[in-house]
Structure 1
Amino acid sequence: MAGVYVRWVWCRAVLHRGWWLVTSIYLVADARLTAAQLVLIGVAQALVGLVFEVPAGVVADTFSRKWSLVAAHVLMGTAMLATALVSDFVPLVATQMLWGLSWTLASGSDVAWISDELGDPDRVPDVLIRAERAQLTGTVAGLAALGGLAWLVGRPAAMIVAGVAMIGLGLVVAVRFPEGRIPRQRWSSVLAGGVRLVRADRVLIAVFAATLLVNGVTSAFGRLYPLRLVELAPAVDPVLWLTGLSVVMCLGGAAVLRRIKPGDVRRGYAAACAVATIGVLGLAFAPDPVSASVAVLVAAGALPLTRSFGTVWVNGRTTSAVRATVHSLLAQADYVGTIVCGLAVAFLPALPLCAALLVTAAVVVRASDRQGNRKRPG
Structure 2
Amino acid sequence: MIKLSPTTVFYTHAFWLDISFTIIFTINMIYQVEMAHLTPLQLVLVGTALEVSAFIFEIPTGVVADVLSRRLSVIIGIFITSVAMSIQAIPAFWPIMFGSALWGLGYTFTSGAHQAWITDEVGAENVGPVFIRAGQFGRAGGLVGIPISVALAGLGLQVPILTGAALILGLGIFLIGWMPEHGFTPTPREERETWTEMKTTLREGFSLVRRRPVLRDFMLIGLFVGLYSEGYDRLWTKHMLDNFTFPVLFSLTAVQWFGVIEFAMTGISIFSNEIARRKLDLKDMRKSVTALQWLYGLMV
TM > 0.5 fold call = yes
Q: Which amino acid aligns with 1:183?
A: P
Aligned length: 275
Cα pair 1:133 1:257 within 8 Å, conserved: no
Cα pair 2:40 2:235 within 8 Å, conserved: no
Cα pair 1:137 1:251 within 8 Å, conserved: no
Q: CA deviation at 1:137?
A: 2.7
Report 1:275-294 matches (<5 A). Answer: 275-281=294-300
Provide the residue aligned with 2:165 in structure 1: 163
Provide the residue aligned with 2:97 in structure 1: 93
Provide the residue aligned with 1:39 in structure 2: 44
Report 1:227-246 matches (<5 A). Answer: 234=245, 236=247, 239-246=255-262
Name the CA distance, whole Å, in 2 between partners of 1:30 and 1:20. 15
Deviations 1:175-227 (A, max 9, x none): 222222323633x7511597588969x9xx96x94766644444344356657
Name the CA distance, whole Å, in 2 between partners of 1:39 and 1:275. 28
Deviations 1:277-329 (A, max 9, x none): 23223xxxxxxxxxxxxxxxxxxxxxxxxxxxxxxxxxxxxxxxxxxxxxxxx
Name the CA distance, whole Å, in 2 between partners of 1:270 and 1:174. 43
**Unaligned segments of structure 1, at least 5 residues:** 282-378
The two structures have a TM-score, normalised by structure 1, of 0.62
Name the CA distance, whole Å, in 2 between partners of 1:92 and 1:36. 13
The SS at the match of 1:67 is: helix
The two structures have a TM-score, normalised by structure 2, of 0.76
Q: CA deviation at 1:156?
A: 2.4
Name the CA distance, whole Å, in 2 between partners of 1:215 and 1:125. 28
Name the CA distance, whole Å, in 2 between partners of 1:224 and 1:272. 28
Name the CA distance, whole Å, in 1 between partners of 2:291 and 2:237. 21
Distance of aligned partners of 1:18 and 1:157 in 2 relative to their CA distance in 1, 3 Å threshold: closer
Q: CA deviation at 1:58?
A: 3.5
**Is residue 250 from structure 1 mapped to residue 255 from structure 2 by the alignment?**
no
Q: CA deviation at 1:98?
A: 1.0
Name the CA distance, whole Å, in 1 between partners of 2:99 and 2:188. 33
Q: CA deviation at 1:146?
A: 2.2
Provide the residue aligned with 1:331 in structure 2: none
Provide the residue aligned with 2:3 in structure 1: none
Name the CA distance, whole Å, in 2 between partners of 1:266 and 1:154. 49
Distance of aligned partners of 1:111 and 1:271 in 2 relative to their CA distance in 1, 3 Å threshold: farther
Name the CA distance, whole Å, in 2 between partners of 1:230 and 1:157. 20
Cα pair 1:133 1:258 within 8 Å, conserved: no
What root-mean-square deviation, in Å, do the aligned CA atoms of Structure 1 and Structure 2 show?
Answer: 3.6
Q: CA deviation at 1:17?
A: 2.2
Q: CA deviation at 1:71?
A: 0.5
Provide the residue aligned with 1:73 in structure 2: 78
The percentage of counterpart residues that share the same residue type is 26
The SS at the match of 1:191 is: coil
Name the CA distance, whole Å, in 2 between partners of 1:174 and 1:42. 30
**Is residue 154 from structure 1 mapped to residue 156 from structure 2 by the alignment?**
yes
Name the CA distance, whole Å, in 2 between partners of 1:29 and 1:230. 9
**Is residue 57 from structure 1 mapped to residue 62 from structure 2 by the alignment?**
yes
* Higher relative contact order, structure no. (Cα contacts within 8 Å, ≥ 6 residues apart): 2
Cα pair 2:86 2:162 within 8 Å, conserved: yes
Cα pair 2:44 2:234 within 8 Å, conserved: no
Report 1:167-246 matches (<5 A). Answer: 167-179=169-181, 180-183=183-186, 185-186=188-189, 189-191=191-193, 209=219, 214-223=225-234, 234=245, 236=247, 239-246=255-262
The SS at the match of 2:193 is: helix
Provide the residue aligned with 1:142 in structure 2: 145
Provide the residue aligned with 2:250 in structure 1: none
Q: CA deviation at 1:124?
A: 1.9
